[in-house]
Amino acid sequence: MATLQEVLQEQIPKYRDGIKKLLREHGDKVISQVTVAQAYGGMRGVKGMICDTSVVGPDTGLIVRGRPLLEIKELWPEEIFFLLLTGELPDADAKAALQQEFDRRSQVPEYVWDLLRAMPPDSHPMCMLDTAILVMERESIFREWYHKGMKKEDYWVPTLDDALNILARLPVIAAGIYRMRYKGSSLIHWTHGLDFGANFANMLGLPDPTGSFAKLMRLYLNFHADHEGGNVSANTCHTVGSSLSDAYYSISAGLNGLAGPLHGLANQECLGWILETIEKFDGVPSEEQLREYAFKTLNSGQVIPGYGHAVLRVTDPRFTGFHDFGVDHLPNDPVFKTVERVFKVVPKVLEEFSAERVKAGKNPIANVWPNVDAGSGALLYHYGMTEFPYYTVVFSVSRAMGMLAQLILNRGLGTAITRPKSVSTEWIKKTVKDMK
C-alpha cells in the first residue's frame, strides 16, 4: 500500500473536486436555521461547519470515518491518525512507514527543554505543553513555503509536514513535562521502532511489568483522538487555522480550549471529585453516600464533572470502552469501584435535579449520562499516574491527531476563512419584535 503522503496526494484533488461539484449543484440549499436561544446558547445544534474525519451521533457517540468507536478500539494511535485523514486503514507497510516518520521527527530541540525548565514551578502542565508547541512555531514549514510563494492547492503538503513534526514531538514533550514536573528526574527518550502508544507509556517512566499500561495508553490515545469539528478545541483550531496561521499556532490555540474545566480539564476535575468522596467516606462510598455527595455538589452550584454532554444523549462509548478495560485489568481497584458506583447513582441524581430545575423555570440537564472524562482518570491513577492536573496533557497528545487531521483536510479543500455574522442584542430585540 502507498504511504500516507501518497494516499493523500491521490485523494485530496478528488475530495476538492467533489466538494466543488456539491457546492455548484446544491450550494443554495438550507440545512439549518438559528433561533435566538441558539445564538445566545453557544450555537448549540447549528449546522454551520464541516468535519469529515468523524461524526458524533447523539445516540451513537463517536463514529470515525463510518466506523463506530467500539468496533475500532483495538487500533493503535498511528492507525487512527491514518484512518482520520484518509478514511482507510494502513496496511503493515504503510503503518511501518508512518512509524518511521515519527521516529525520524521525534527529536525535540534543546531550546524547548530550556524554556520548560525556566517556567515557574506552579505553571499548569497544560500551559507548559501549549507554550512548548508555540515556541516551536519558528520551525513551521508551512510558514516558510507560504512566504516563498505557494499555490493554494499545495497548502496541505507543508501542513502535513508540520503536523507530523508536531505529532512526533508531542508525546516526547508531554512525557518530559511529566518527568520534570512530578518526578524530578531525567527525561526518557523516544525509542526507535516502538509504536506511538507504547513509546509514550515508556517515556512517562511508570512501572509497567505486564505491558498493560502501554495497552491503556494505546486505547487512551485512540479514544480521545477526535470528536467531530464543533467542540471547543477542534472548532478553535479550525478557526485559527482558517486565517492560514500554521499548525503550531492552530494546535496550541485548540489545546488552550481543551484546558477549560467544561471541556478536557473535566478529567482532572472528575478524578478529584471521586477521590474527595473516597476520602470523605473513608473508603469506597456506598450508593446512599454518593447520592448525598452528588446532591451536595449540585446544590452548591457546581457541575458533576464527567457527566453531561453538548451533543451526546446516551452513555459515551468511550466511557464504556474504558469501563471494559477497568473490568478486565483492575476490577478490585477502589477508585475504579467508586467510578462504577458513581455511574449507578449519578444519572438518577441528575435526572431528579434536572426535574427540580425545570420546576424552578431553568433549563433541563439535557444529558445525564457519563462522558469520556468520567472514568479515564481512575485508570491512569491505578497505574501510578496520580497527578491529575496532568491528565489533560495526555488527552492533548491524542486530540492533536484529530485537530491536525482536520486542519490538513481543510487546507486540502482550501476552506474559507471563518467569519460568522454576529448581531447585537439591540438587533435581536428589534428583529423579534414583529415575529410570531
- Looking at residue 307, the DSSP 8-state letter turns out to be B
User: Which residues are catalytic, by number?
Assistant: 263, 309, 373
Report in angstroms how near the CB of residue 67 gets to ligand CMX at its nearest.
Answer: 21
- Min dist CB 42 to ligand CMX, Å, is 7
Q: How far is the CB of 355 from ligand CMX (least distance, A)?
A: 12
Query: Which segment (76-84, 168-176, 273-281, 365-373) binds ligand CMX by CB under 6 A?
Result: 365-373
- For ligand CMX, the binding residue among 306, 347, 377, 402 (CB under 6 A) is 306
As measured in angstroms, the least distance from the Cβ of 239 to ligand CMX is 17
Q: How far is the CB of 102 from ligand CMX (least distance, A)?
A: 26
Check binding of 411 to ligand CMX (CB under 6 A): no
**Total of chain residues touching ligand CMX, rule CB under 6 A:** 23
Task: Say whether residue 264 binds ligand CMX (CB under 6 A).
Answer: yes
For residue 304, state whether it binds ligand CMX (rule: CB under 6 A). Answer: yes
Piece of the chain touching ligand CMX by CB under 6 A; list 174-182, 212-220, 246-254, 305-313:
305-313
Does 303 bind ligand CMX (CB under 6 A)? Our answer is: yes
- Does position 363 bind ligand CMX by CB under 6 A? yes
Report if residue 337 touches ligand CMX, rule: CB under 6 A.
no
Based on the shown chain and the rule CB under 6 A, indicate whether residue 259 belongs to the binding site for ligand CMX: no
Q: Among 86, 231, 235, 376, which residue sits at the site for ligand CMX (rule: CB under 6 A)?
A: 231
Q: How far is the CB of 126 from ligand CMX (least distance, A)?
A: 13
Residue with smaller CB distance to ligand CMX, 56 or 157: 56
Applying CB under 6 A, which of residues 53, 371, 392, 415 lies at the interface with ligand CMX? 371
Q: Could you list the residues that contact ligand CMX (CB under 6 A)?
A: 44, 231, 262-264, 266, 298, 303-310, 362-363, 365-367, 371-373
